[in-house]
Amino acid sequence: MVALFALPALVGVVVVLGLLAVAAPLLPQRGIPPATAGLSLLALLLALALVAAGGQSQLLAGSLAIDPLGAVFLLPPAVAGLAVAGGLLGRAAPAALPGFVAASLLVVLAGDARFAVLGVALFATASSDWVVRPAALAGIFLLAAAFATLSLGGGQSFAAMRAVPPDGWRATLVLALTLLGVAPLVGWAPWHRPFLALDATGLPLPVLSPAIGLYLCVRVLADLCGPATPGWWGLPLLLLGAGSAGAGLIAALRAPTFGGILAGLSVQHGGWMLSGLGVAAIARGADLLPLATLALGGTLLHALNYTAFASLASLSTGAAAIGAGSQTLDRLGGLAGRMPVVAIGMLVAGLSLAFLPGSAGFASGWMLLQALFAAPRAGGLALQLVVAAVVAAMALSAGFAAIAVIRLGGVAFLGRPRSPRAAAAEDASLAQRAGIIGMAVLCGLLGLFPGVALRLCGMAQHWVTSAGLDGQGDWTGIRTQIDSPGYGPLGIVIMVGIVLAVIAMLSRTGRLPAAQPVPIWEDGFTAPPPWMPFGDPATQLTPATLTATLPTRPLRLPSMPRVRLEVTWPSVTLRHAPVVVLILAVLLLLLVAGFGPV
């Protein structure tokens, strides 16, 4: 019932946003952000109503359609549009901003091949401010080819494709074309340099691209290709996910600017989502519906959470870059004192970006890891080896994400300023601060009540896996099965709160004296010369030194330095321990494999 009214209203929102984008050169530039924010808010309310009520509806003979899967993916564009446009209130916005939000909504609302390709084309071009890049063009053509292959069976509408799903080589072709086509669009291809343009256009591309890319993958591979896709379809998804988690992270560790780091982290988080979808595909192929539901739930939840905390990170870094006149880390530092609200927003977003507990990112990351941990049940040794490698890659990317976040937030916001301009940074505007506070509250709620957010994805989970929800989420937390302990952030936050309250009480009663600020002690070096009013920059950590000592190959097999036990017993050397371990591993595997069928 809701869907019947919501779909025309949403189409209206898209049309008005599109008109705004077309007429942007004629309109006052300051008028674009409020209009975009208002329309995004309307879209958000409609999407929430759709998610809550469920149901499906279509327009123009099925060319535009909405179903529970689409309803969930309407939330990311609406939230990102609201956050980014809201943060730009009172400022000149890039003309392509409404077009970008409209294109993202259109991708989700499309109900047949033509509108889907149109939406993707608009998304790709609007995200680079209406410039068509060769990589994006290739992506559009590949996706168009995928939809063309799908429509060979029955017709161009999604309903017809679903009725006659592709089989044999055609299904394989669809899989290959979709993955190859989505990769360049969302920065998942190694040759694609992620661009972001906090510096030029201010478009929230890294905020939205993982969600939109994931939507295309879910829609085509899990929905349009029918319920009987083979389990091995999950393998390329898993490998692509692990690969992009690693590649995105390396890009984030190397990038010298806010935009580069955020773009790298977007690729990394997109990789986590893809690997979750891979587990769902494998589990569906093996008829393990509870596991498929778990994996899909983690994937959808991470898409929602990521949009929220990436919007917050984008808002905070945007406000910092505008206030300090640069987004290059080498020119920033000590911004927390000048813009405390922005710094707090960055801290909240950073906890999520680095998968730290209590945050929204940890909750959905926890679910994705649980799905990966359970994935070996779905197949033989080959699959299990792939899963082990993927878990190792994911673990590595989670560990190093903290370093990327420390570069993003720590170097820019803490310590001493590295340039006069940063020392005189202006605080964010009222609109930006309001946007940051609003998004930080949203991220906090998503982190505290992940079960409620997971409920929002319930009908979409059911749509794809046709399996009922097993009470995986409620207000106390999320769990893998109905009676297993799971993850309850509320209890942990209460526990930490009690400890903090005791310490605060001690210091309040005067038992613990307050801290006193003193000049920085430079280890006895002479005071900096007068032309260095912010101290000698060489005495402070730089963004480059933060990653310079990182091993380039974390898993290399080095010769172990000689470690001697201190006692005068016969000395034990651990030289070449890793090599010995490896040889033992190979021998063990050979031994076990020789004994029976594997």
Partner 1 sequence: MSLAGILALLVHAVLMAGMAVLLAGVLPWAQARLAGRVGPPVLQPLQDWRRLMRKQPVVSEGASALLPAAPTIQFAMVAAAALLVPSFALGMATAPMSDLLVIAGLLGLARFIMALAAIDAGTAPAGLAAIRSIRLAALAEPALLLVIFTIALLTSTTNLDAAVLSFREAIVPGVPLLLAIAGLASVVVAVEAEGDAALTEFSGWHAAAAEAAVALRRVVWLSLTAALLLPGGLALPGGGLVEWTVGLVAWVLKLGVLGLACALVGPSLRRAGQAAVGPLMGAAVLLGLLAVLFLFAAQGLT
Interface with partner 1 in residues 312-341 (CB under 8 A): 334, 336-337, 340
Q: Name the residue nearer to partner 1 (CB basis): 134 or 556.
A: 556
When asked if residue 19 is in the footprint of partner 1 (CB under 8 A), the reply is: no
Nearest to 413 by CA among 334, 327, 496, 501: 334
Q: What is the DSSP-derived secondary structure letter of residue 487?
A: B
Q: Which stretch binds partner 1 (CB under 8 A): 191-199, 208-216, 435-443, 590-598?
A: 590-598
Nearest to 183 by CA among 127, 126, 124, 232: 124
**Residues 6 or more apart in contact with residue 406 via CB below 8 angstroms:** 546
Q: Name the residue nearer to partner 1 (CB basis): 149 or 317.
A: 317
**Residue window 456-495: x/- pattern of binding to partner 1, with contact defined by CB under 8 A:** ----------------------------xxxxx--xx--x
Query: Reduced to 3 states, what is the DSSP secondary structure of residue 130?
Result: coil
When asked if residue 505 is in the footprint of partner 1 (CB under 8 A), the reply is: no
Nearest to 535 by CA among 523, 517, 552, 551: 523
**Residues 6 or more apart in contact with residue 392 via CB below 8 angstroms:** none
In DSSP terms, which residues pair with 365 in a beta bridge?
none
Dihedral sign computed on CA atoms, order 24, 27, 28, 33:
negative
Instruction: Please identify which residue in 509, 510, 524, 566 interacts with partner 1, judged by CB under 8 A.
Output: 566
Nearest to 484 by CA among 492, 473, 493: 473
* In the complex, minimum distance from the CB of residue 261 to partner 1, in angstroms, rounded to a whole number: 15
Nearest to 87 by CA among 424, 312, 303: 312
Q: Which stretch binds partner 1 (CB under 8 A): 187-195, 299-307, 314-322, 511-519?
A: 511-519
When asked if residue 18 is in the footprint of partner 1 (CB under 8 A), the reply is: no
Number of residues counted as binding partner 1 (CB under 8 A): 106
Site residues for partner 1, 517-556, by CB under 8 A, read 517-523, 535, 538-541, 545-546, 549-551, 554-556
62 conformational bin, left if phi > 0, alpha if psi -120 to 50, beta if neither = left
Return the structure tokens found at 354: 């680095």
Instruction: Please identify which residue in 26, 134, 511, 531 interacts with partner 1, judged by CB under 8 A.
Output: 511
Site residues for partner 1, 403-442, by CB under 8 A, read 403, 405-406, 409-411, 413-416
* In the complex, minimum distance from the CB of residue 475 to partner 1, in angstroms, rounded to a whole number: 15
When asked if residue 5 is in the footprint of partner 1 (CB under 8 A), the reply is: no
Compute the distance between CA of residue 141 and CA of residue 117 in angstroms, rounded to an integer.
9
Q: Name the residue nearer to partner 1 (CB basis): 90 or 399.
A: 399
Instruction: Please identify which residue in 370, 419, 432, 472 interacts with partner 1, judged by CB under 8 A.
Output: 370
Instruction: Please identify which residue in 52, 385, 424, 505 interacts with partner 1, judged by CB under 8 A.
Output: 385
Helix axes 113-126, 134-150, angle to 10 degrees: 170
Nearest to 92 by CA among 44, 36, 168: 36
When asked if residue 258 is in the footprint of partner 1 (CB under 8 A), the reply is: no
Q: Name the residue nearer to partner 1 (CB basis): 161 or 408.
A: 408
First to last CA, the chain: 53
3-class SS letters over 542-572: CHHHHHHCCCCCCCCCCCCCCCCCCCCCCCC
Q: Which stretch binds partner 1 (CB under 8 A): 39-47, 48-56, 218-226, 350-358?
A: 350-358
Return the structure tokens found at 222: 């899990």
When asked if residue 570 is in the footprint of partner 1 (CB under 8 A), the reply is: no
Q: Name the residue nearer to partner 1 (CB basis): 258 or 355.
A: 355
* In the complex, minimum distance from the CB of residue 245 to partner 1, in angstroms, rounded to a whole number: 12
* In the complex, minimum distance from the CB of residue 253 to partner 1, in angstroms, rounded to a whole number: 10
Return the structure tokens found at 87: 């943060």
Q: Which stretch binds partner 1 (CB under 8 A): 38-46, 99-107, 155-163, 578-586?
A: 578-586
